Amino acid sequence: MDKKRIIQVDEKVPLPMLLPLSIQHVFAMFGASVLVPILFQIDPGIVLFMNGFGTLLFIFLTKGRAPAYLGSSFAFLAPAGGVIAAQGFEYAQGGFVVVGLLGCLLALVVWKFGTDWIDVILPPAAMGPVVALIGLELAGNTITPGKTGADLSSGPHIAVFAVTLGVAVFGSVLFRKFFSVIPLLIAMICGYLTAVALGLVDFTPLAEAKLFTLPQFHLAKFDLNAILTIAPVILVIATEHIGHQVVTGKIVGRDLLKDPGLHRSLLGDNLSTAISGFVGSVPTTTYGENIGVMAVTGVYSVQVIAGAAVISLLMAFVGPLAAFISTIPGDVIGGITFLLYGMIGTSGLRILVDKKVDYGKNRNLILTSVVFVAGLSGLTITLGSVSITGMTLAAVTAVIISLIFFLLDKAKLMND
């Protein structure tokens, strides 16, 4: 059997391949990324514009060595929703800007003191399950009816979901040559055509779309209460970012925390968030869907990510482009993410294998067990206006227990 073709991070891609590979990334992230502005009731065009801009900024700051697409962050939904209801979106923007600036400050700290502390607060026995939970906690969204999940309540919807997932799964292991690197795009096309045939596609947005549009820019406003409400999210997105960089590094076979460095990727992520919030968009973050695309296809080229960013920028101005992608049913998106989220979960388990975590030691057994249950149990801890649950709660739990274990170990009190 032919060995899987890998297109590495710094490898150039011929133009005939570049376009479909870039479109594959856009399709993967579009549903989830546009859902955030829909929930905030703002113009999706400005979000698409800043997603593309932020991704290109990230690529520039990481010197083209870290493949990552920046999409709309879900971590801000709860606190920002409260601020928007009480004061308006402009004041939530101010909170986004401050969080982004705090993230830039964290990048400076990492640049000054390095990343060795990560192995203390997130040793492999904790990092593995935290990374796995990035995908596993999203798994339920794949079968939740809506723009990003499948509606499995009737035969036609099930058929679209099954066709999409089936082509993605079997195409990933059966397709050869160029088709082997675009199985997800092919799966989405097959799912979409099935949906059209079954009458599940609403072409109204395409018919009503204006040929040219302009993103709606709005400057941020600042209020101390709004800032204090949103600021704690920095803990969430910082942990998520480290997890994303670790799992991406495992996929591409490079230590991205060292090269280009966690300080560069943190700066790219958070500077984009600050700029995005200031001009009227939502915070940006690296995206699990795009990490999953790389895992499935073996295409890690930053050039492909940049191509996807340019397409996102174009969609902000060319109405029919965004309108067409918005017609993709949730059954198709759900069929794709069903596989992608599982791949991210598997990447977390791979950390445990690669690091040869010894579960003969109680500390590792306990740490992994508690982190998994903290993330999957549905437990929610509310601190003021910020609710911590899922992967975020698991990460906080992992850090606290890991630090306690580290101190106990230094005091020679551990029984292993």
Residue 224: enclosing H or E segment and its boundaries? helix 224-230
CB 410: neighbour CB atoms within 10 A? 9
What is the number of structural domains in the chain? 1
Classify residue 147: in a domain, yes or no: yes
Closest CA to 50 of 207, 216, 172, 235: 216
pLDDT for 307 equals 92
Token pair recorded at residue 210: 């204006």
DSSP 8-state secondary structure symbol assigned to residue 386: E
Q: Residue holding tokens 């982190």?
A: 371
Classify residue 413: in a domain, yes or no: no
Residue 97: enclosing H or E segment and its boundaries? helix 89-113
pLDDT for 2 equals 46
Rounded to two decimals, the pTM is 0.76
Question: What's the Cα-to-Cα distance from 381 to each of 237, 386, 393, rounded to whole Å?
Answer: 17, 8, 8
Classify residue 254: in a domain, yes or no: yes
**Residue type for 247, please?**
V
Residue 181: enclosing H or E segment and its boundaries? none
Classify residue 49: in a domain, yes or no: yes
DSSP 8-state secondary structure symbol assigned to residue 318: B
Q: How far apart are CA 78 and CA 71, in angstroms?
A: 17
CB 19: neighbour CB atoms within 10 A? 14
pLDDT for 345 equals 80
| Domain assignment of residue 147, given as a range | 15-357
Count the residues in the chain: 416
Q: Is 391 helix (H, G, I), strand (E, B) or coil?
A: helix
Classify residue 48: in a domain, yes or no: yes
pLDDT for 31 equals 66
Classify residue 126: in a domain, yes or no: yes
Classify residue 389: in a domain, yes or no: no
Q: How far apart are CA 139 and CA 213, in angstroms?
A: 34
- Tell me the pLDDT of the chain (416 aa) as tens digits: 345 578 888 888 888 889 898 988 887 777 667 767 876 878 888 888 999 999 999 999 999 999 999 988 877 876 787 788 889 999 999 999 999 999 999 999 999 988 888 788 888 898 888 878 877 877 887 888 877 788 888 899 999 999 999 998 998 888 887 777 778 888 989 999 999 999 998 888 888 878 888 888 989 999 988 898 888 778 778 877 887 888 888 888 888 999 899 999 999 999 999 999 999 999 998 877 788 888 888 889 999 999 999 998 988 888 787 777 778 888 888 888 888 788 778 878 888 888 888 998 899 999 999 999 988 888 888 776 666 777 778 878 888 999 999 999 888 888 87
Classify residue 261: in a domain, yes or no: yes
